[in-house]
Structure 1
Amino acid sequence: MSRQLLAMALAPLLGLFILGIGNGFLATLITVRLDAAGESATLIGIVSSAYFIGLALGAMVNDRLLLRIGHIRAYGSFASLVAVTVLLQGLFFDPWAWFVLRLIGGWATVGVYLVIESWLLTSGDQKVRGRLLALYMISLYAAGVLGQLLLGVTDAMGTTAPFMVIGLLASLSVLPMAMIPRVSPIIEHAEPLHPLRLITLTPTGVMGSLGSGMVVAAAYTLLPLYLQRIGMSISQVGQMMAVVIMGAMLLQYPIGRWSDRHDRQLVLIGISGFCVLISAAMLWLPLSTPLLAVLLFLLGGGVFAVYPVAVSHAADRAPAGALVRMSQGLLLINSIGATISPLMISPVMTAMGDAGLFWAFGSLSLFFLLFFVWRRRVRPAPVPVAPFTATTPMSNAGAELVVTEALMQGALEHEHLEDLSDAVSDVDVAEPMVGPPQEDESHITYYDDVEQEGERK
């Protein structure tokens, strides 16, 4: 990567890293604080879902605001709002007030990601998007790991200190963006493909995106609740959540390379079956701390890999002109799954106890496993058109980062091959003649008709 490109991407990536530390920290912090106050799993799920509702709403409307006021001012406004909502949560405790603050915070957070991702999008063309996306993923996951580890560091500082630290990080993330040249990337208002159109185009991609959103959101918001209720300290909860994110970061690329060598539906079947086994192990095995860490590492690698494999599978079927809108539509589906997940799974934990989380994980994974098996029997997956692309976008602009030069070229070649196949199948080819031609010359007219038909096509 050239120094010029790295210099253009450095400021948004640094802002992302600083903000991401606090953002990953906050989700776990809210869960453990609500549980320590004696709130039910259902109420914790409701408060947690507010953040994802805000993300979904912001993904649909924030680009209009960005177009009006510009990138730098939008970033400052959104980051300041994130800091305010976090600091207010530290000042007083009320679950329903926290619900409202988390909703506003989610809306503002996706605005921050929209600015960062759109800036990265315009930092280079399709030839370098793969490298930009790799840097983006490293920054995001590394920030998530550090954020979880901060949970134990700040626990001894008092009840308000963690919220103050997160507010400070949100404010500090403005500095790198404020120092870049006053040039705003040009973006267009996003119009993702309608969910019904997506279901017609790629049922497997839609269900994979939905299921990934559900399981990943539960991992972020309800897994800390499970860990705390089985007797772990705040510091241990943070360490185990860091292990989950490490698994997501380190195993996503090996799974992606596996999907390049086999049809991606088979890979989705394998991941879903693997998640069923991990859930069963969490329920039935006697869990020592080392074994729990290994299982959570593998679980993180599995559940976080579903979405990028599902998006890559969908891209194998999509026309080149629909790749961007398809990616944006699947991001919306993923957000819907994340929104409903805490609302669905937390009542299961209330009814069945802490183990209800893994009963829910296992049941969801089994459902999607059966769906992917059925889809593979109905319509086998095509040959992958481009190498696997890891995806962790938070906004429509980030979804466009996924459309690399290799993916676009692969989709165009796939369309060309399909056009040739259709052209050949539309022309009836006569069986070869055996022996000398007969006196009847009707075959000459037949071949002439075929030739003329081919010319017209």
Structure 2
Amino acid sequence: MNRWLLVVLIFAVSVVGLSMGLTLPLVSLRLLEAGASPLQIGILSAMPAAGMILSAFMVAPLCRRFSGRHLYLMCFALCAASCSAIEWLPDSLGWLAAARLMLGVGMGVAVILGESWVNELCDENKRGQIVALYAACFTGCQLFGPTLIGVLGTQSLWPIAVVTGCNLLALLAVWLYLPADWSEAEHEQTKTFSLAGFIRVAPALCTGVLFFAFFDSVVLSLFPVYASSHGYAVGIAAFMVTIILLGDMTFQVPLGWLSDRCERSHLHLACGVMALLIGCALPWLIGHPNVLWPALVILGAVAGGVYTLALVRIGERFSGAELVTANASVGMLWGVGSLIGPLLSGSLMGLGPQGLPLALSLAAALFVVTAIGSKKTLRVARSA
């Protein structure tokens, strides 16, 4: 295992997490202060997710044309330009939407390739720990973004300066330390499934990714609204999101360590079942603060575990061109989950006070049912 390459890839995905975690709330808050309508804010907020969906269809042709190093250089150059454009673009929502879309494309390609390369670098007996560390760094830097806005303010030049500078540092690290022919050979291999075909090949892994993307977008955008509607102060409601994300970040490496020492499919299903149980219990938990806070930590941990273990199991099953295609499907599903999560949850919250727990429970149930079905199918196939 090349530890130095691994460090560069983890630093790169950390910068992607910071770019996402800082620019999403910053752009929304600036638009709100400028008097933009909720529809306009919603459309601009959806642009990075749309870009990530688009990136999933671009990865395969790009990999055939460019080396991994060149792709990473282009990704971080695009991300740096898109982030800085938030400051210097004219007051045009159209141009801003284009910049946000391009940021999503750059982040999407970087994440898809990064997940593939980290899995290829891992020794099998440490795959869970390393992929979990990768995911935890992404989440931690995503969490750092809103904190930076809170410290520096929405109108300061410094938040954008920091995130643009970090993207330029990632660009420099890639330029200096990734080999020129990095990952060229792997993408010349044949593959047995397409981008959409991966859903048929690994339905439980796909619904796991879809669930976490749904969960992540709903927690970031609507959980404070849900908590404040049940009597919590806005500041406390926002802090609950921080606690959920801290649970996610803190427990991924321990879960990864555990996955290297037990049956990964069992642990994956257990995380999904726990997320489903807490989702179903939220209507009761929200009225009992002493139990709610530890439950939120556990919810973040197990929901993050569903995603991390999906990545681990993808790396366990696939390699080369198939691994890149699988992770491209992950990127596509992430974008889809990020788009439908707030839409479905917002609609259900409009119908009743417990719409958000219902939405989270439905998403978790989809993963649990699919995971159980996949285990039964595999058991039948083995006995045949």
Alignment TM class, shorter chain as reference: 0.7 to 0.9
Spell out, residue by residue over 1:5-62, the C-alpha distance to the aligned partner (whole angstroms, 9 max, x if none). 555555554454455334323334455666786855x776544332111012123325
The percentage of aligned residue pairs carrying the same residue is: 19
Q: For residues 68 and 10 of structure 1, what CA distance do their matches in structure 2 show? A: 16
Query: Pick from 163, 167, 176: which aligns with 1:169?
Result: 163
CA distance, structure 2, for counterparts of residue 359 and residue 291 of structure 1: 19
1:184 pairs with 2:180? yes
Q: Is the contact between residue 75 and residue 115 of structure 1 (CA under 8 Å) also seen in structure 2? A: no
Distance 1:152 1:56 in 2: 30
Residues 379 and 125 of structure 1, relative CA distance in 2, 3 Å threshold: closer
CA separation in 2, counterparts of 1:366 and 1:339?
Answer: 17
CA distance in 1 between counterparts of 2:118 and 2:370 reads 36
Preserved contact between residue 31 and residue 221 of structure 1 (Cα < 8 Å): no
Task: Tell me which amino acid in the other structure corresponds to 1:181.
Answer: L
Partner of 2:309: 309
Aligned counterparts, 1:17-36, within 5 A: 17-18=14-15, 20-30=17-27
Name the structure 2 match of 1:218: 218
How many angstroms apart in 2 are the aligned matches of 1:257 and 1:7?
Answer: 21
Match for residue 139 of structure 1?
137
| TM-aligned CA deviation for residue 278 of structure 1 | 1.6
Q: From the superposition, tell whether residues 129 and 169 of structure 1 become closer, same or farther in structure 2 (CA, over 3 Å).
A: farther
Question: Higher helix share goes to which structure?
Answer: 2
Cross-structure match for 1:80: 80
SS of alignment partner, residue 214 of structure 2 = helix
Partner residue of 2:295? 295
The corresponding residue for 1:386 is: none
Conserved 8 A contact 2:211-2:363: yes
- Give the aligned residue type for 1:25: L
CA distances 1:297-321 after superposition (whole Å, capped 9, x unpaired): 22211222113334555666x4777
User: Is the 8 Å Cα contact of residues 272 and 368 (structure 2) preserved in structure 1?
Assistant: yes
| Residue in structure 1 matched with residue 273 of structure 2 by the alignment | 273
Superposition pairs of residues 232-251 of structure 1, within 5 angstroms: 236=236, 239-251=239-251
* Stretches of structure 1 lacking an aligned partner (at least 5 in a row): 383-417, 426-457
Q: Is the 8 A contact 2:132 2:252 kept in 1?
A: no
Q: Which moved more, 1:182-191 or 1:201-210?
A: 182-191
Secondary structure in 1 aligned to 2:183? coil
Superposition TM-score, scaled by structure 1 size: 0.64
| Contact 2:18–2:142 (Cα < 8 Å) also in 1 | yes
Per the alignment, in what secondary structure is the counterpart of residue 176 of structure 2? coil
Alignment match, 1:334: 333
Spell out the pairing of 1:119-134 with structure 2 (5 A cutoff). 130=127, 133=131
Residues 295-351 of structure 1: per-residue CA shift (max 9 Å, x gap)? 3222211222113334555666x4777762563354245335324424642542562
CA separation in 1, counterparts of 2:125 and 2:361?
38
d(CA) in 2 for partners of 1:253, 1:125: 14
Larger Rg computed on CA atoms: 1
Distance 1:119 1:370 in 2: 30
Write the distance in 1 (CA, Å) between the matches of 2:354 and 2:31. 19
Is this contact kept in 1: 2:214–2:338, CA < 8 A?
A: yes
Alignment of 1:25-174 (within 5 A): 25-30=22-27, 40=38, 46-61=43-58, 63=62, 67=67, 70=70, 73-75=73-75, 77-87=77-87, 92=91, 99-113=97-111, 130=127, 133=131, 136-154=134-152, 157=153, 159-161=154-156, 164-174=158-168
How much has 1:274 moved relative to structure 2?
Answer: 1.9
User: Where do 5+ consecutive residues of structure 2 fail to align?
Assistant: none
Q: CA deviation at 1:246?
A: 1.9
Structure 1 letter corresponding to 2:274: F
**TM-score normalised by L of structure 2:** 0.74
Are the counterparts in 2 of residues 21 and 143 from structure 1 also a CA contact under 8 Å?
yes
